[in-house]
Structure 1
Amino acid sequence: MVYDPDGHGIASDIDGRFEVMAARPVEWLELHCLGYRVRSIPVKQAVPPGELVVRLTPAPVQIGDVVIQPSESPALRVVRGTVARRGRYSPDMQPGYSFIAYSKLTLSGEEKMEDFRLDAPLALAGQLLVSETLVKHRYAGGRHCDSIMVARTSGLKNRALPLRPSSFQSLNFLADEVHILGARYVSPLSERGLRIYRYHVQDTVVSLQGDTIYTIAFSPRRPFSTIGLTGALYISVWDFAPRVAMAWGRGDEESASYGFEVRQQYNAYGDSVWFADGLRCVVRVPDSALRIDVETHLRDVQLGREANLPVWDVADMAETGANPMGDSLLRNYRATPLTRADTATYRVVDSLGQEAGIDRVVSLLSPLQDGLLPLGPLQIDLAQLLDFNSAEGVRVGLGVGSNTRRFQRVQVGGYGAYGFRDKHWKYGGHVNLKLHGASECYLKFGYSHDLARLGESSLYKQGPELLMEIYMNRVDYTSTASVAFGGRIHGRLQYWLAGRWDNVYNASGLGYPTLRPDGFLQGDRDDYQLVRGTAMVRWAPQSYLQLDGRGISELRPGDFSLELGFEVGAMPRHLAERYYRLQGQLSHTASWLERGKLHSRLGWGFTVGHYPLARGFFSQGGGGSWISIMAFHAFATAPWGYYYHDAQAEGHWLYDGRPWLALPVSKNWRPGLAVAANAGWGQQWHNVMRADGHRYPSMQKGFYEVGMGIVGLLGEILSGGESCLLCYYRVGPYMSGDWRQNITLVFTLAKTLD
């Protein structure tokens, strides 16, 4: 569109909108569209939006002879040029940047939804929800940090459902992977993309600046259809910079069926750094006639690294919804004013939400994602209701604590449980004090009477080790009092200090059992007491370090974490006969969309002193999208009073293969086959001196296992979850000679609470 005699003009954005920013009043507009005659329109007065209709007359374009020379496809050549310049064009390849992102989400329903919603005015046009978010986004040193400035959601007055700019799609296609609705795909503008995609020129246009832009369609080759996208790229031939990227596809068949379409419009900032400053995502759910529209616009883009980034990748989100200051900020950053349907949705749904008390319902249900059921000032720990393991058989219990929404700085709780096989009551309680919110600094006091797993170390913050608990059949009971202090420094270094007193009841009758090539070593049968002090740090240089309730960091593919721990312990009656333990562990996760994931773990440790507990290897198996945590421990032990030195090194690897060969049972049920491999090796050197001078040899452990099974076993029944059944066969020096005893069936079931 040209708007003055000097030839100044603008092109439409990805939504087909024009926005003229002229230095002097515009008297006429001139529309240029390939294949149509130029049309001039006089502008005499302001025209309301949506009321100007222009009809163009077709005009064929005569093109001269075209000579085709046999060489590399022009589409592939252009894409190669873009990939070669990613280091200069990609924002994430720069030292740092920041911007403010405005995002708007609208949820609408058509005919099928009319039976399920209240009658609404015609102005709603089927819209059910509107949500707006303003985010300050900062990037430096591989870290993305989002701070929620304003968030407003229709129907929620005191709360909001904030959106991050990357909630629905990646911020650009100039990376190795593109994330859309939580799924990972190979980017068409990457080295891997050159191998798995087909490219062909679909169209050629000339911009108003005289730049030739190729429209290049791309689609994945057949073997890579599950990790590739279908779409189109608009790339300049002059500098190989992307102008527009579009992609579309379908969601995972194991969950509800849906289709999506994403569009990104790129503009240059600084020295040719191309930001996708206009993003659009449309999601359609045909079965329910639902449609989700998300648009994001970047403003105030600044290049250059900031001095300090926030500690967290997501700052504390504003609890307040609509307010005068928030409305003013949203108006300043909206790309276009709210439509009449948006305004009506806010007005009608806000009134309905206030009448129905939606704020209160959301406040009550939000803790469910952490396994907590709020009941007034209390909350029920759902994880304590039912459990199963070999020692207790069926375990039932009840855990009650203070409501974390009402009491954020001080939390008090307790639990009681009973095992039907061992006929033993277990109980415990805790008091947690939140000292400083920004650094997650806390102080915890606890007491419990429960099972004691042989050989456990206070150096590890135990996560979910389901199979380890199922397979343990020899346990002791312990009454434990503990105190812990911990926190976080600069968001990447996690630390904690702990003290613990244990009164161990030797119910196993083995004392300190040892699994060794020469059999079991019978230990002391007496009960004993133990005091321990622990100091530990965890460092994850490239991780976002989002934490769950157990304080476990979530690693992205390619990241690693390093843990160092120190422990000292002794029996109260023999404080002079202490032991010291120092150990470390390095973990790394590699991920390939074509093949799957490889989890690696390297550990080492050294212990010296009078050591009363069972001594085991670090390896507790691994985990992945389709594999439960596998547990295998080998113990080397000396009864109390036997002085020894102990050192060990261990490696553990777990391969989680990508599912393949989907079986089309029905439209939404397509289970596939999965392959997994688990391997570990460890060497333990120790010098155990018995009273009669007898020495015990060092030991080594090695095993490997291969599993195959079905993924998506309960596809239609478990919508939005994961289910798989795998059969493992394990080989190693301590496995049984009967092959039937080395087979393990693993069933994994995971469901996300919506």
Structure 2
Amino acid sequence: MVKPYILFFFIVWTTLLEAQSMHNFNTEPRQDSIKKKAFIKQLGNGFFPTKYFNFDLRYLVKYNQYEALRTGLGGLTNEAFSETFRINGYTVYGFKDHRFKYSIAGGFRLSEKTNTWIDFSYTDDLQETGSTNFLTDGRAFQFFEPRLLNIDLFHKHVTKSIALEHQITAKLNAETEFSVSKIDPTYRYSYLLGTQTLDKFHLSTAKLGLQWNPFNTAELTNTGLKQIKQGYPKFTIQYTKSFKDVLKSDFGFSKLDFRTIYQVGDINNHLSEITLVSGIANGNTPLTHLYHAYPNNIRKETIIQRFSVAGLNSFETMFFNEFFSDKFSTLQFKHFLKPFNISQRYKPQLVLITRYAIGDMQHPEKHQEVSFGSLKKGYTESGFEINKLLFGFGLSFTYRYGAYHLPDLSDNVAFKFTFNLTL
């Protein structure tokens, strides 16, 4: 596991040094300076821009327990190519499972003012079992995805989809999607559906996602939405419906997912953040589409062996695949203290953290060949992070207590390093 870490940090650090050197180069003409600042901003958003095509840095180097090193290329066309048509895609290869994964997609803009797009895609890839993606989150980029390093429970999926994106108002965004998927778990698993058991299955699903930011300051202009100021709280809601017997679909179920984020204060002074996430699934729902409550602890004997990277919103003491639920809620509280003003450039920051999760499973016996626990007693952990100690790295300490406290004291402790970096 050491080699992927080293390779990743080398790439990130080299990129940052190049970006910083361009940022500090003050003798160039003003126009060149503007172009270089725009270039640095693109890098911070995860893109390496060219004239007509922007390379997507998310696909360069990743690591997980199933694929080991995962590397490839991806990107999308930019506005210089077309303002009304876009193409994006990627191809990656996993060195442990010896398999290529890929996606190709294209879209047309129907309205510039409301940023209305219709998109088509074909994807053959992996997805973490028990994870939920909100449509309105769109594309997210992190230099380093901490949880990904330790995930081992994936399912293969081949998915064809059509999606519609629309900005209803300046504060309300909607996205809908209809998809047909072929699901194949990479682990031993089957679902007891009546008198038959399914270890591979088809799904036909429709989704509707809404993102409401009532306290954002934004306006719809002739060229689209212009964000002026971020406000809180923010609300995300998503409804998913799987249709049995539609295009060979094996399951009929529904899911309702909700998230709200509230912040008060200033990150450069004192900042408090509360995040509430909830979900409920009804009907015959396979494990692949249930909830895992964001665990981030690997099953090793000692604290040092479990030393890895803390996630941004994950339960650091909860072991991977320890709990699954068909209804759950998580509540996370973070308080960022004022950064320590040691010098102009060196300002570590202490963050106090408490997380709580509760959930349950109505028919666990339907999930064959796997074992997991219930969260109905409520799961609690608390701890702290000291971020930006050196080159964006920091340390975190978290302790598990309450109803799911373990007999061996060391099994309740998670000691990890953190990574926080922005351009």
- TM-score w.r.t. structure 2 length? 0.71
Aligned with 1:415 (options 87, 90, 112) = 90
Letter in 1 for 2:360: Q
What CA deviation, in whole Å up to 9, does each residue of 1:46-72 have, x standing for no partner? xxxxxxxxxxxxxxxxxxxxxxxxxxx
| AA aligned opposite 2:417 | V
Q: Which amino acid aligns with 1:728?
A: F
**Superposed, which structure 2 residues align to 1:145-224 within 5 Å?**
none
Unpaired stretches in structure 2, ≥5 consecutive residues: 1-19, 297-309, 316-320
Determine which of 89, 99, 104 is the counterpart of 1:424: 99
Measured after TM superposition, the shift of residue 492 of structure 1 is 0.5
Partner Cα separation in structure 2 for residue 751 and residue 562 of structure 1: 25
The letter of the residue matching 2:312 is I
Cα separation, 2, equivalents of 1:374 and 1:580: 40
- How many residue pairs are counted as aligned between the two chains? 362
| Residue in structure 2 matched with residue 676 of structure 1 by the alignment | 352
- The answer on 1:744 being equivalent to 2:419 is no
Quote the Cα distance in structure 2 between the aligned partners of 1:457 and 1:524: 24
Query: 1:555 & 1:735 partners in 2: Cα distance?
Result: 42
1:404 equivalent in structure 2 = 79
When the two chains are superposed, the root-mean-square deviation of aligned CA atoms in Å is 4.1
1:371 paired with 2:46, answer yes
1:535 alignment partner in structure 2? 208
Contact 2:180 2:205 in 1 (8 A): yes
Tell me which amino acid in the other structure corresponds to 2:334.
Y
The separation in 2 between residues aligned to 1:619 and 1:675, in whole angstroms, is 19
- Match for 1:493 among 167, 172, 184? 172
Residue of structure 2 equivalent to 1:609: 283
**Residue in structure 2 matching 1:470, options 120, 131, 149:** 149
Q: Superposed, which structure 2 residues align to 1:326-341 within 5 Å?
A: none
Aligned twin of 2:110: 435
Q: Which one is further off, 670-679 or 587-596?
A: 587-596
Indicate how the Cα distance of structure 1 residues 413 and 672 shifts in structure 2: closer, same or farther if over 3 A, else same.
Answer: closer
| Contact in 2 for aligned 1:503/1:529 (Cα 8 Å) | yes
Q: Secondary structure at the match of 1:470?
A: helix
| SS of residue paired to 1:750 | coil
* 2:158 paired residue number: 479
1:292-348 Cα shifts (integer Å, max 9, x gaps): xxxxxxxxxxxxxxxxxxxxxxxxxxxxxxxxxxxxxxxxxxxxxxxxxxxxxxxxx
Q: Is the 8 A contact 1:484 1:498 kept in 2?
A: yes
For residues 655-666 of structure 1, what are the structure 2 equivalents within 5 Å? Answer: 655-662=334-341, 664=342
User: 1:737–1:424: structure 2 CA closer, same or farther, 3 Å change rule?
Assistant: farther
Which residue in 2 is equivalent to 1:624? none
Q: Is the 8 A contact 1:600 1:651 kept in 2?
A: no
Residues 521-556 of structure 1: CA deviation (Å, up to 9, x unaligned)? xx9572211111101212111013699xxx9x9984
Q: Is the 8 Å Cα contact of residues 616 and 634 (structure 1) preserved in structure 2?
A: no
Q: Which amino acid aligns with 1:389?
A: N
Residues 499 and 731 of structure 1: CA distance in aligned 2, closer, same or farther (over 3 Å): same
Tell me what 1:46 maps to: none
Cα separation, partners in 2 of 1:457 and 1:569, compared to 1, 3 Å: farther
Residue-by-residue CA offset, 1:574-595 (whole Å, 9 max, x unaligned)? 7585112223333211226797
Residues 471 and 512 from structure 1, CA distance in 2 versus in 1: closer, same or farther, beyond 3 angstroms?
Answer: farther
Match of 2:270 in 1: 596
Q: Out of 217, 220, 223, which is 1:544 matched to?
A: 217
CA contact (8 A) 1:509 1:525 kept: no
1-structure distance, mates of 2:336, 2:33: 43
Is the Cα–Cα contact under 8 Å of residues 53 and 76 in structure 2 kept in the other structure? yes
Q: Deviations over 1:141-180 (max 9, x none)?
A: xxxxxxxxxxxxxxxxxxxxxxxxxxxxxxxxxxxxxxxx
Q: Is the 8 A contact 2:267 2:336 kept in 1?
A: no
2:399 alignment partner in structure 1: 730
**Distance in 1 separating the partners of 2:171 and 2:129:** 32
Residues of 1 paired with 2:146 and 2:409: CA distance?
20
The one-letter amino acid paired with 2:182 is: N
Q: 2:124 aligns with which of 442, 449, 471?
A: 449
**Matched position secondary structure for 1:686:** coil
Q: Would the alpha carbon gap of residues 361 and 708 (structure 1) be closer, same or farther in structure 2, given more than 3 Å must change? A: closer
Match of 2:239 in 1: 566
Match for residue 8 of structure 2? none
- 1:10-159 to 2 correspondence within 5 Å? none
Which residue does the alignment assign to 1:166? none
**Given that residues 255 and 279 in structure 2 are in contact (C-alpha distance below 8 angstroms), is that contact kept between their aligned partners in structure 1?**
yes
Distance change in 2, residues 1:660/1:372 (3 Å):
closer
Looking at secondary structure, tell me which structure has more strand per residue.
Answer: 2
Shift of 1:675: 3.3
1:379/1:671 CA distance change after superposition, 3 Å: closer
Classify 1:429/1:620 alpha carbon distance in 2 versus 1 (closer, same or farther; 3 Å).
Answer: farther
SS at match of 1:443: strand
- Assess if the C-alpha contact under 8 Å between 2:44 and 2:422 holds in 1: no
Report the alpha carbon displacement of residue 453 of structure 1 after superposing the two structures with TM. Answer: 0.9
In the other structure, the counterpart of 1:385 is: 60
User: Equivalents in 1 of 2:286, 2:52: separation in Å?
Assistant: 43
Once residues 294 and 219 of structure 2 are traced to their aligned partners in structure 1, the CA distance between those partners, rounded to angstroms, is 24
Give a deviation string over 1:419-472, Cα, whole Å, max 9, x none. Answer: 222222111111122222221111111111111210233545474582332221
Give deviations 1:677-724, integer Å, cap 9, x for gaps.
Answer: 131232336366869xxxx9964241212024253423xxxxxxxx13
Which of the two has higher C-alpha Rg? Answer: 1
Secondary structure at the counterpart of residue 217 of structure 2: coil
Instruction: Rate the CA distance shift 1:620–1:474 in 2: closer, same or farther, 3 A.
Output: closer
Which residue does 1:704 correspond to in 2?
A: 381
The AA in structure 2 aligned to 1:434 is: R
Q: Is the 8 A contact 1:450 1:479 kept in 2?
A: yes
1:370: how far off? 3.2
Query: Please, what TM-score do these two structures have when normalized by structure 1?
Result: 0.42
**Matched position secondary structure for 2:421:** strand
Letter of the 1:565 counterpart: Q
Specify the code of the residue in structure 1 equivalent to 2:346. R
Whether contact under 8 Å (1:582, 1:606) holds in the other structure is: yes
Residues 749, 660 of structure 1: CA spacing in aligned structure 2 closer, same or farther, 3 A cutoff?
A: closer
Structure with more contact order per residue of length (Cα contacts < 8 Å, sep ≥ 6):
2
Q: Please give the alpha-carbon distance, in whole angstroms, between the structure 1 residues aligned to 2:59 and 2:333.
A: 30
What is the CA distance between 1:731 and its match in structure 2?
0.2
Measure the CA separation in 1 of the matches of 2:405 and 2:141: 25
Per-residue deviation, 1:497: 0.7
The one-letter amino acid paired with 2:119 is K
Tell me if the contact between 1:396 and 1:419 (Cα under 8 Å) persists in the aligned partners.
yes
Whole-angstrom distance in 2 between the partners of 1:458 and 1:358: 38
Q: CA deviation at 1:649?
A: 5.0
- Report Cα offsets for 1:615-665 as digits up to 9, x if no partner: 2156689xxxxx85132476446xxxxxxxx5x452412213224554x5x
Distance 1:612 1:536 in 2: 21
Cα 1:678–1:584 change in 2 (3 A) is same
Partner SS, residue 450 of structure 1: strand
